[in-house]
């Protein structure tokens, strides 16, 4: 087990019912945009797992799911931008309508890397759906974006600090000691 990170859980930035309402809207948008198609949702583990499961149920279309896991070298609260694929897809995405589902776009480096790796596999289309986009981040390129988020490090709804607090049902600030 990893040690409890030094710090505390602070204010709630996005309450559970606001998350639910926005996810429902994103699901409705995707439903409208992908009529007659069967999109493949690609979740980026582990942070996207809660968002992905709610989003999949908010889309009123047949969808398929797959997951990737990447590890970015860096400290627990700062990404270095160097990304390694730890778990690759099981699905051949050539010709598929792929929606990459991310928890948060921070620097955007993870997403830029994944977009290029997946784009090389010749999907019919490739869009990004990110729950959170850091304010001031370069254009995230996310066609679907849930909420802008201030500079604070946040946890909950799948997001962690050193593997803790993913299970919290809201987006809350983590205040390091």
Q: What is the set of active-site residues?
A: 106
Among residues 121, 152, 148, 124, which one has the least CA distance to residue 137? 148
- Would you count residue 42 as binding ligand IMP (CB under 6 A)? no
Among 42, 56, 100, 105, binds ligand IMP (CB under 6 A): 105
- What residues from 44 to 83 belong to the interface with ligand IMP (CB under 6 A)? 47, 72, 79
Among 110, 128, 131, 157, binds ligand IMP (CB under 6 A): 110
Count of residues in contact with ligand IMP, rule CB under 6 A? 17
Euclidean distance between CA atoms 87 and 45, whole angstroms: 9
- Would you count residue 159 as binding ligand IMP (CB under 6 A)? yes
Where does the chain show beta strands of DSSP type E?
7-14, 40-45, 64-75, 78-87, 97-105, 125-134, 144-149, 154-155, 171-176
Place of tokens 């869009």: 127
Euclidean distance between CA atoms 102 and 30, whole angstroms: 15
Region of 10-18, 30-38, 86-94, 96-104 interacting with ligand IMP (CB under 6 A): 96-104
Region of 14-22, 33-41, 54-62, 97-105 interacting with ligand IMP (CB under 6 A): 97-105
- What residues from 36 to 95 belong to the interface with Mg ion (CB under 5 A)? 47
- C-beta separation of 124 from 143 below 8 A: no
- Would you count residue 118 as binding ligand IMP (CB under 6 A)? no
Binding site for Mg ion (CB under 5 A): 47
């Amino acid at each position: 087990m990893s040690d409890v990170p030094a710090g505390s859980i602070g204010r709630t930035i996005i309450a559970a019912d606001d998350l639910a309402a926005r996810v429902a809207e994103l699901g409705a948008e995707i439903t409208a945009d992908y009529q007659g198609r069967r999109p493949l949702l690609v979740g980026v583990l582990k942070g996207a797992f809660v968002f992905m499961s709610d989003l999949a149920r908010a889309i009123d279309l047949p969808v398929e799911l797959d997951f990737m896991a990447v590890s970015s070298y860096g400290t627990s609260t700062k990404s270095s931008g160097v990304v390694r694929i730890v778990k690759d897809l099981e699905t051949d995405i050539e010709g598929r309508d792929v929606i990459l589902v991310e928890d948060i776009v921070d620097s955007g480096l993870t997403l830029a890397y994944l977009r290029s790796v997946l784009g090389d596999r010749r999907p019919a289309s490739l869009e990004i759906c990110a729950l959170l986009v850091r304010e001031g981040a370069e254009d995230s390129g996310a066609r679907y974006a849930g909420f802008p988020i201030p500079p604070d490090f946040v946890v909950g709804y799948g997001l962690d600090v050193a593997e803790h607090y993913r299970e919290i049902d809201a987006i809350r600030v983590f205040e390091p000691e």
